[in-house]
Structure 1
Amino acid sequence: MPSAAPRPCNFPCCRSLAVSGGRCAEHERDAWVKSPKATKRITGRRLQAMRAALFAHAPLCVHCQAVGLVVLATQRDHIVPLAEGGSDDDDNTQGLCDLCHESKSLAEAMRGRGRGRSV
């Protein structure tokens, strides 16, 4: 069976050819592996009980409330993300509306992508 033709490596400033996966042998990416120090996520009924308790205690979006808006919280958010070493307890959670949660998550993802770059 014929294989695909080699293509230029997609690593910045590399002029080598890559046979598969978009990168040459020198710039291969490591397989994604969860950090051994990563916080274990809470799931299931325990998470649902924690969400209910959070929204009963603080039903409004924290970010909207800070600018004078009254919007119901719909997302349980980690103030310090688990990926950045935050804990999964009540002291590190806040209620956010969908819009605020989406914008905060996007900012966290951009920070994460910036940390992972090696040029």
Structure 2
Amino acid sequence: MPIAAPRPCTHPGCGVLVRDGSGRCAKHPKPQWSKPANATKRITGRKLQAMRADLFARDPLCAECKRQGRVTLATQRDHIKPLAEGGADTDDNVQGLCAPCHDAKSKTEAARGVRRAWGNYREG
């Protein structure tokens, strides 16, 4: 069976060729992913479905569209302060959003997460 051609290490700024297929050189191993010890437990199942139904019954319109003067039905239960940033899974931290507003907010939150992860990065 043929062996794949060596490729540069995927760590930013590293150009060492990697031959083992892992994508990283010995100097830059991939960090193991794990949740922080203080991560908020997500609610799932029937309890979550009941909370969604309650939210949409109380306020069926998208909160972001309402702020911008539009009228759109909410389809997503969204955490105002994301759980990944220390938000709680409580009624005062949730809002209803339409899919486009939820996607835009999620993209912004993901970008913040990447900046947090790489914020202290120093070549060395």
TM-score in terms of structure 2 length? 0.88
Deviations, residues 44-94 of structure 1 (Å, cap 9, x unaligned) = 110011111111111110000011111111100000001111100101000
Provide the C-alpha distance between the structure 2 equivalents of 1:85 and 1:47, rounded to a whole number of angstroms. Answer: 19
Provide the C-alpha distance between the structure 2 equivalents of 1:114 and 1:75, rounded to a whole number of angstroms. Answer: 25
Report deviation, 1:3. 4.0
Consecutive unaligned residues in structure 1, runs of 5 or more: none
Which residue matches 1:112? 113
Q: Tell me, what secondary structure is at the counterpart of 2:11?
A: coil
Provide the C-alpha distance between the structure 2 equivalents of 1:2 and 1:25, rounded to a whole number of angstroms. Answer: 23
Provide the C-alpha distance between the structure 1 equivalents of 2:80 and 2:54, rounded to a whole number of angstroms. Answer: 17
Provide the C-alpha distance between the structure 1 equivalents of 2:102 and 2:35, rounded to a whole number of angstroms. Answer: 23
Identity percentage of aligned residues:
61
Report deviation, 1:13. 2.2
Report deviation, 1:29. 1.1
**Residue 27 of structure 1 aligns to which amino acid in structure 2?**
H
**Residue 34 of structure 1 aligns to which amino acid in structure 2?**
K
Q: Which runs of 4+ in 1 moved over 6 A?
A: none
- Within a 5 Å distance, the mapping from 1:71-86 to structure 2 comes to 71-86=72-87
**Residue 70 of structure 1 aligns to which amino acid in structure 2?**
V
TM-score in terms of structure 1 length? 0.92
Which residue matches 1:65? 66
Report deviation, 1:4. 3.0
Which residue matches 1:35? 36
Count of equivalent residues: 119
Consecutive unaligned residues in structure 2, runs of 5 or more: none
Pairwise CA RMSD: 1.4
**Residue 4 of structure 1 aligns to which amino acid in structure 2?**
A
Which residue matches 1:9? 9
